[in-house]
Structure 1
Amino acid sequence: MAAVRAGVPEHGRVPKYYAVKAELETLLAGLGAGGLLPTEVDLAARYGVSRATLRQALRDLLLEGRLRRRGRGTVVAGPKIEQPLSLGSYTEGVTRQGLRPGRTLVGLDRTSADGPLADRLAVAPGEALWHLERVLRADEERVGLESTYLPVRRAPRLDRDFDPAGSLYHYLHEQGTVLGGAEERIETVLASPREALLIGTPPALPMLLLHRSSRDTAGAPLELVRTLYRGDRFSFTLDLGSAPTG
């Protein structure tokens, strides 16, 4: 009941679906990760609600990443993937949690820098850029979509030497280009129909969108990255130092 009370609005009326959601959370804790939920018919009868009310509670738990669809059934999801906000690559973050990182190439194309891209990458308008797009995976599950713009002169043989399943930062380091710093911005968005199809999620699923502007050790712009992460599968962590006193 405490879980229900925590969500009670000031007028004191608890939506029926929210009360059912709290009951379901207790059920999930008992089943554990991977546990199979009873059918909607059985759950609706257990809690004495309509299937429409039950589905609203289940929908919330699915969007929060507490449940996952598996075939025709619904199972309890495991913990979210914690991705540190750091200069490390996606590979490093996923590997630290005992998961197997992977990437599937969507496209590696040569394009020209338009005005905004040229300004942000500090290159001349029309300069050749690589556009690298990949689906991110964790233990073969599709969990995100990454789009990177990089001047061709930074990696002229990218289309011949680079393994799209590997870390771009590791490849650049081997070529003598070292990441020196980055600025990152996070927002919540919905995926476009194309993005949802590539990631394998419903368009209504909230996504975490990260914009990264990276620079090399000399402070020159290196790359622009736009990464969509599934909101039901990822959380982000940041190690904050102690605040100065006085």
Structure 2
Amino acid sequence: MWSGGIPQDGNAPVRAGVPEHGRVPKYYAVKIRLDELLAELGEGEPLPAERELAERFGAARETVRQALRELLLEGRLRRRGRGTVVAGPKLVHPLSLVSYTEGVRRQGLRPGRRLIGLERYPCPPRLAAEIGVARGDAVWHLERVLLADDERVGLESTYLAVARAPRLDREFDPDSSFYTYLRHKLGIVLGDTDERLETVLATPREALLIGTPPALPMLLIHRASRDGAGRPLERVRSLYRGDRFSFTTRMTGDGRRGAGAARGPSAG
């Protein structure tokens, strides 16, 4: 059995995925070889065809295909046209009240958004308590695709009472920062937030909007925000591509999050 690429260093993290008995599935052995090849090729370089890879590694094409599928799901590879290229590093976003705009710009990329819809409708009971309105009061639903250098990387839905931003549909540029609009146009200062993060699969509609396969794992963040006076402000559902995003935070010695990393990312 092929054993190349298995780390001999006992300090290697989780033995790079190799069980203690050293036996690995054929596809995983190919994946390790592919991982080495990606490092040699570099970001943006095209990957050889499946047939060529199968011959190079002495493996069946289906075995190679399975290894490629995992690398695609992990974000190590990307589809480009009818081919596959080496992907760049994931977007790293702090779990803090840093906006999506600021977080993407810090990594040298150009943030953007594509409006899917902005509509108002009577608030349902469950949402009413979260944004501080009565059942049936008018609420905005703002839905936008998140972009980084024109690549679709996420989808965000924001719910806000119409009374807090009555001219949102006339004043707000959907390609701009929502939090900047709240702060500079309406004088609303953000306070704290409650968040929940989970992994999910995108629905067929979400996958179509983001431009990913339905089977691609997603990072989903539910957020309920309050203003500076502690009053409920918004509810946000942010869906990020698992192959393009990772999140970071800092903890203090007493177990609390450090300053500047208190809550969650936004597409503001």
Question: For residue 213 of structure 1, what is the aligned residue in structure 2?
Answer: 224
Instruction: Select which of 137, 140, 158 maps to 2:150.
Output: 140
Q: Alpha-carbon deviation of 1:241? A: 2.1
Question: For residue 59 of structure 1, what is the aligned residue in structure 2?
Answer: 69
State the distance in 1 between where 2:16 and 2:99 align.
38
Structure 1 residues 49-128: aligned runs within 5 Å: 49-128=59-138
SS in 1 for 2:236: strand
Stretch of structure 1 that moved more, 193-202 or 2-11 = 2-11
Question: For residue 260 of structure 2, what is the aligned residue in structure 1?
Answer: none
Instruction: Select which of 194, 200, 203 maps to 1:192.
Output: 203
SS in 1 for 2:17: coil
State the distance in 2 between where 1:80 and 1:143 align.
10
Q: Alpha-carbon deviation of 1:12? A: 4.3
Question: For residue 38 of structure 1, what is the aligned residue in structure 2?
Answer: 48
Instruction: Select which of 8, 16, 40 maps to 1:6.
Output: 16
Q: Is the 8 A contact 2:222 2:238 kept in 1?
A: yes
State the distance in 2 between where 1:17 and 1:36 align.
21
State the distance in 2 between where 1:211 and 1:169 align.
17
Question: For residue 243 of structure 2, what is the aligned residue in structure 1?
Answer: 232
Identical-residue share of aligned pairs (%): 70
Listed one character per residue, the Cα deviations across residues 84-111 of structure 1 (whole Å, up to 9, x for unaligned) are 1111211111111110000000000001
List alignment gaps of at least 5 residues for structure 2. 9-14, 256-268
Q: Alpha-carbon deviation of 1:147? A: 0.2
State the distance in 2 between where 1:11 and 1:23 align.
19
Q: Which has the higher contact order (CA 8 A, sep 6+)?
A: 2
Q: Alpha-carbon deviation of 1:11? A: 5.3
SS in 2 for 1:239: coil
TM-score norm. by structure 2 comes to: 0.88
State the distance in 2 between where 1:148 and 1:6 align.
39
Stretch of structure 1 that moved more, 195-204 or 234-243 = 234-243
TM-score norm. by structure 1 comes to: 0.96
State the one-letter code of the partner of 2:76: R
List alignment gaps of at least 5 residues for structure 1. none
Q: Alpha-carbon deviation of 1:122? A: 2.3
SS in 2 for 1:65: coil
Q: Does 1:165 align with 2:175?
A: yes
Q: Alpha-carbon deviation of 1:10? A: 5.2
State the one-letter code of the partner of 1:81: L
Task: State the number of aligned residues.
Answer: 244
State the one-letter code of the partner of 2:99: S
State the distance in 2 between where 1:3 and 1:202 align.
33
Q: Alpha-carbon deviation of 1:73? A: 1.3
Q: Is the 8 A contact 1:21 1:57 kept in 2?
A: yes
State the one-letter code of the partner of 2:59: V
Q: Alpha-carbon deviation of 1:3? A: 5.0
State the distance in 2 between where 1:142 and 1:20 align.
30
CA RMSD of aligned residues (A): 1.3
State the distance in 2 between where 1:113 and 1:192 align.
23
Q: Is the 8 A contact 1:3 1:22 kept in 2?
A: no
